[in-house]
Amino acid sequence: MGIEPNTDGWLEDTRTSYDTVAASYADQVRNLLDETPEERAVLALFADLVSTSGGGSVADVGCGPGRITAHLRQLGMDAFGIDLSPGMIEMARRDHPSLRFELGSMTDLDLGDGSMAGLVAWYSLIHVPDAQIGLVFRHFHRVLQPGGSLLLSFHVGDESKLKTEGYGGHPMKVYVHRRRHGQMIAWLNDAGFTVDEHRTLTSAESGLGGILLARRRPDTQ
């Protein structure tokens, strides 16, 4: 792991950046799942795990323009989306008017304790600084029911780089953090999760993407 960059104000920077690029981002990623069969297979596996455990509500945390939320609904999930960016929520509601999307932050989830059967964070942890990951995972643990499923995807690597432009050339100010499976698994273990499966793949989603399937340990508070 490299030296953590100065990420003061990262939440505000992330919100502002994605408000700025929301329309262009929605256009660029809308059909990416059509090009990523391995990701579709992982999402189907996650949906099956939630279903076989009794089903229930699933939150897509950091949902962006809602494409993963919509795919989860197509898989039969009772899914809804949460995002920090009002611009992204606007795009999600525009593109998927029949679905539920809410403003919110993964650092302070406004969801009841044990209220979720599953959580997805699909490349939405990439701007969270190392020092805040534990807080995020504690919130994930709190809102998941015992045994509830968690699906994470992230960029694999060791670097943190400042992104100053993206998605149509619009200005951004967000650090993109790449992480190793071992570090992610350690953070999840500390937060009360058991990791059942992890893999690395290359696809339209990420040049080197990590996938983790975990569940809240029933014996943790």
CATH number assigned to the domain comprising residue 181: 3.40.50.150
Q: What is the pLDDT of residue 5?
A: 64
Q: pLDDT, tens digit, for every residue of 41-60?
A: 999 999 999 999 999 999 99
Q: pLDDT, tens digit, for every residue of 116-164?
A: 999 999 999 999 999 999 999 999 999 999 999 999 999 999 999 999 9
Cα–Cα dist 133/131, whole Å: 6
Task: Classify residue 4: in a domain, yes or no.
Answer: no
The size of the chain, in residues, is: 221
Number of domains into which the chain is organized: 1
Task: Classify residue 5: in a domain, yes or no.
Answer: no
Task: Classify residue 3: in a domain, yes or no.
Answer: no
126: helix, strand or coil: coil
Q: What is the pLDDT of residue 158?
A: 93
pTM: 0.94
Q: Quick check: 165 pLDDT over 90? A: no
Q: What's the domain range around 197?
A: 10-216
DSSP 27-64: HHHTTGGGG-HHHHHHHHHHHHHHHHTT--EEEEET-T
